[in-house]
Structure 1
Amino acid sequence: MQIDDEPQDRVLDEMDGVFVVTTEDGVAYRLDMNKRQVTRTVEVGAGVRAVLDPESAALVTVATCRVGATMVLLIDRDIPGVLFTRRTSATVLGINRVSRTPLPQ
């Protein structure tokens, strides 16, 4: 995954693309706005990240996502009878768009 050099200050629900949102507790959220999915990872060692959830969750909406504030997402965890789950993050430290350009070989 290649991250663009220019950081974003927010992600809006109507945006397209893929973003990596890092929070002050060390969690990184990969928001795929095209596929409407969210995946959480955490650093477990120097440069080694582990996935926190067994699979990506369906992204219902991005309620708030901006640097310096907590992020609030509504996700669908595919639980019968539950329309959505509210997921709140620690304070957002950075937001970067994932490049559409493939890594050089």
Structure 2
Amino acid sequence: MWRALGLLALCVPGLVWAGEAEVLDAVADCDARRVCRFTVTVRHADTGWDHYADAWEVRAPDGAVLGRRVLLHPHETEQPFTRSLSGVAIPPGVEQVRVVAHDLVHGWGEAGVSVRIR
């Protein structure tokens, strides 16, 4: 039993040490109709298909999801990485949004980046 616990202790830290996915930067380029293209840079210690940053979201101040970019594969050798999402409609009156990232083990990260809409 102790041997099994020892092996488990060696395996689990890899999952824990990777931590949450982190949004490092986010930029919105919006047209006159407030339809925006978001370019977002994410960092996460992807370890493979079982633990990688798999999405990021653009959220309104009330928490409503305005857009989601799904990331289809791990980025083990490309860190940090930048991806874009077009066609995000920003409702009238919303002057700032928050971009947060998700990974398969930790879920949605609490930290994110605020983006002012112009």
Shorter-chain TM-score category? 0.3 to 0.5
Greater helix percent: which structure? 2
> Larger Cα Rg: Structure 1 or Structure 2?
2
Greater strand percent: which structure? 1
Q: TM-score, normalised by structure 2?
A: 0.30
